[in-house]
């Protein structure tokens, strides 16, 4: 037992996490957790403030919940996993977080090194079975920094360093291994409430770089903006909307993971980069991993290209050879606000005419998208019809929609910076449902909608996710856009072999998910409200019924919506 001036290192770790701003520890415990669990009880007995530790019955869900919580709040959260096997389950979430610059503080126990004669030594056979020569190798390529805690008195400094590095530009996950013997030792408790030892770094664009970007865009006849991760803040969202309108610059949100301007904004271009790149003589790329496809889309050699964002060259990606005539490293929101101020000094006379031309093209294209979506509701419905109906159902609400191969953005009317979140470009499936849980945990009064394909729903470990939703009373709306196939795989095959043998088959090999399970029964096992919708004409009423259920009971509602294959 530790004396009043010391505490178990496991408890000290948790106390320090609270001091640096961690609200929740998303944890799946194991035999390495006794000092963590003892630390929780010890801190409670000594009236020490700790983050709320939540049991998450699968580590993939824990990582995605931390991801979603960060998207909602801008504050990093902690995940604690069980030795190497729990860390292996975290790997997909770490890859997703790395690609999207999400600063998760990832911890896992390490099986005891000692076999006897030391408190915390191995006590059960898995202590031998879970030992690895290099446990960190499971996530090393996905994290910015890693360390193994060596001594109990390191706890505060290691936590501070992990937090500062994770939140430094470009942000990303970090990992710390926690040997059981070290966590079992006592450490001084004084100083755990002191301010962080170090602060994260931030990237700031120079005034000269911003002025160069302003001159390039202001002097262009056909400038274009590509945005993939939104605008970064409500203020920058409004600023980009104003800048695009004032200058008549179309904004293309190709494979957008966040919303940069409203989808019905006059300058909101369609998702196809091709017609924009054909004419562009200046391009601003805002925080985009892949703003277009180089194999299909080729900017003119004379076009000036500006890449701006936290990591404009995507340095951790081995191959990404998008041209960058001007590379500006900065927080996206800061860069947009600075660029708007710089461009106020430049006012060419022909901008109004360009704005009208761009608005006319965008209005025509959007009308075609809405007409096509509106025609997809007879009988077996289309994905676009589901998107259109959902958009109408949530109109006027400050809702957030998450999509993982679920609803498509184009037919939806979305008008604020927290309206849309799409699956990470890393492609680690099973992200949407638990990320929505994390987002709902951060803001219980907000309407959170998780839309996903049937394959993505199965990848999310739905039994675990529904258990979490019930245990924490998280009232999100889940919409499964169910085509009983791996639709993204099918489309990829058709893209490469449009006239091939696979395209001519009735059932394309390795893409079928039939027979489709009855997903409503999975939800009902955790006492959720659940309905299946087969006919598109029934969808608006089903959505309204689901939203009424959420409003009146504050519990999860699920719709299993059967759609036509794409």
Instruction: Look at residues 100, 452, 441, 433 and name the one whose alpha carbon lies nearest to residue 288.
Output: 100
217 has pLDDT over 80: yes
3-state secondary structure of 432: helix
Per the structure block, which two tokens stand in for 565? 């294959």
pLDDT band, residue 525 (cuts 50/70/90): very high
Buried b / exposed e over 141-177, threshold 16 CB at 10 Å, is: ebbbbbeebeebebbbebbbbbbbbbbbbbbbbbbbb
pLDDT tens, 95-109?
999 999 999 999 999
Task: Report strand pairing: 6-8 vs 186-188.
Answer: antiparallel
pLDDT band, residue 38 (cuts 50/70/90): confident
Cis preceding linkage at 225, omega within 30: no
**DSSP string for 80-115:** EE-HHHHHHHHHHHHHHHHHTT---EEEEEE--S-S
pLDDT of the residue at 189: 85
- Least confident range of 41-55, 373-387, 493-507: 493-507
379 has pLDDT over 70: yes
513 has pLDDT over 70: no
pLDDT band, residue 495 (cuts 50/70/90): confident
Per the structure block, which two tokens stand in for 143? 């994290």
449 bridge partner residues: 401, 477
pLDDT of the residue at 320: 95
pLDDT band, residue 121 (cuts 50/70/90): confident
- Number of neighbouring beta carbons within 10 Å of residue 73: 16
pLDDT of the residue at 4: 61
The single residue listed with the structure tokens 């960190």 is 136
The CATH H-level superfamily of 207-360 is TPP-binding domain (3.40.50.1220)
Length of the chain: 566
3 has pLDDT over 80: no
pLDDT band, residue 340 (cuts 50/70/90): very high
Give whole-number Cα distances, 342 to 7, 226, 243, 497, in Å.
54, 19, 11, 47
pTM of the model: 0.95
1 has pLDDT over 60: no
Helix (H) or strand (E) holding 300, with range, is none
pLDDT of the residue at 29: 84
pLDDT tens, 269-317?
998 999 999 999 999 999 999 999 999 999 999 999 999 999 999 999 9
Reading phi first (left if > 0) and then psi (alpha if -120 to 50, else beta), residue 44 is in alpha
pLDDT of the residue at 512: 66
348 has pLDDT over 90: no
486 has pLDDT over 60: no
Instruction: Look at residues 317, 107, 311, 342 and name the one whose alpha carbon lies nearest to residue 203.
Output: 311
First to last CA, the chain: 62
Instruction: State in words which class domain 375-562 has.
Output: alpha beta
List, by residue range, all CATH 3.40.50.970 domains of the chain.
6-188, 375-562
What percentage of the chain reaches a pLDDT higher than 90? 78
Q: Are 35 and 180 in contact (CB under 8 A)?
A: yes
pLDDT tens, 380-393?
899 999 999 999 99
Residue range 166-192: mean pLDDT, rounded: 93
Task: Report strand pairing: 448-453 vs 420-422.
Answer: unpaired
List, by residue range, all CATH 3.40.50.1220 domains of the chain.
207-360
What percentage of the chain reaches a pLDDT higher than 70? 96
Helix (H) or strand (E) holding 390, with range, is helix 383-393
- Least confident range of 27-31, 67-71, 197-201, 404-408: 27-31
510 has pLDDT over 80: no
177 bridge partner residues: 108, 148
pLDDT tens, 131-151?
889 999 999 999 999 999 999
490 has pLDDT over 70: no
For the segment(s) 6-188, the CATH number from 3.40.50.300, 3.40.50.1370, 3.40.50.970, 3.90.1150.10 is 3.40.50.970
């Amino acid at each position: 037992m530790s004396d009043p001036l010391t505490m178990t290192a496991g408890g000290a770790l948790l106390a320090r996490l609270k001091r640096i701003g961690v609200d929740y520890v998303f944890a799946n415990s194991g035999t390495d957790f006794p000092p963590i669990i003892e630390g929780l009880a010890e801190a409670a007995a000594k009236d020490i403030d700790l983050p709320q530790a939540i049991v998450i019955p699968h580590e993939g869900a824990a990582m995605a919940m931390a991801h979603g919580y960060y998207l909602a709040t801008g504050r990093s959260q902690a995940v604690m996993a069980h030795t190497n096997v729990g860390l292996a389950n975290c790997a997909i979430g770490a890859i997703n977080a790395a690609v999207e610059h999400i600063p998760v503080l990832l911890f896992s126990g390490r099986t005891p090194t000692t076999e006897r004669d030391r408190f915390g030594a191995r006590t059960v056979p898995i202590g031998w079975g879970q030992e690895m020569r290099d446990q960190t190798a499971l996530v090393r390529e996905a994290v910015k920094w890693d360390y193994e805690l060596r001594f109990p008195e390191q706890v505060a400094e290691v936590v501070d360093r992990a937090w500062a590095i994770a939140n430094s530009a470009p942000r990303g996950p970090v990992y710390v291994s926690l040997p059981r013997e070290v966590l079992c030792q006592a450490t001084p408790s004084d100083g755990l409430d002191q301010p962080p030892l170090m602060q994260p770094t931030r990237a700031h664009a120079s005034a000269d770089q911003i002025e160069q970007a302003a001159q390039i865009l202001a002097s262009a006849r056909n400038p274009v903006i590509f945005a993939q991760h939104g605008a970064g803040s409500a203020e920058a969202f409004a600023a980009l909307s104003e800048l695009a309108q004032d200058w008549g610059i179309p904004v293309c949100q190709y494979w957008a993971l966040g919303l940069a301007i409203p989808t019905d904004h006059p300058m909101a271009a369609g998702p196809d980069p091709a017609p924009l790149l054909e004419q562009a003589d200046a391009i601003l790329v805002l925080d985009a991993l892949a703003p277009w496809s180089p194999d299909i889309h080729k900017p003119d050699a004379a076009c000036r290209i500006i890449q701006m964002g936290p990591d404009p060259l995507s340095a951790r990606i081995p191959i990404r050879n998008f041209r960058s005539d001007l590379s500006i490293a900065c927080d996206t929101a800061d860069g947009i606000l600075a660029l708007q101020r710089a461009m106020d000094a430049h006012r060419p006379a022909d901008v109004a005419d360009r704005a009208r031309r761009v608005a006319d093209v965008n209005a025509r294209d959007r009308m075609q998208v809405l007409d096509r979506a509106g025609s997809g509701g007879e009988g077996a419905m289309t994905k676009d019809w589901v998107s259109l109906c959902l958009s109408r159902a949530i109109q006027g609400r400050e809702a957030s929609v998450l999509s993982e191969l679920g609803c498509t953005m184009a037919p939806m009317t979305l008008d604020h910076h927290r309206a849309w979140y799409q699956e990470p470009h890393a492609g680690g499936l099973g992200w949407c449902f638990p990320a929505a849980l994390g987002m709902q945990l951060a803001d219980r009064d907000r309407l959170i909608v998780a839309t996903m394909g049937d394959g993505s729903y199965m990848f999310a470990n739905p039994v675990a996710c529904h258990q979490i939703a019930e245990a924490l009373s998280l009232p999100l709306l889940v919409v499964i856009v169910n085509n009983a196939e791996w639709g993204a795989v099918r489309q990829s095959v058709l893209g490469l072999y449009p006239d091939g043998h696979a395209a001519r088959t009735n059932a394309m090999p390795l893409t079928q998910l039939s027979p489709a399970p009855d997903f409503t029964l999975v939800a009902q096992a955790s006492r959720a409200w659940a309905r299946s919708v087969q006919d598109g004409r029934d969808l608006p009423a089903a959505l309204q019924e689901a939203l009424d259920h959420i409003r009146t009971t504050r519990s999860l509602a699920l719709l299993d919506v059967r759609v036509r294959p794409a």
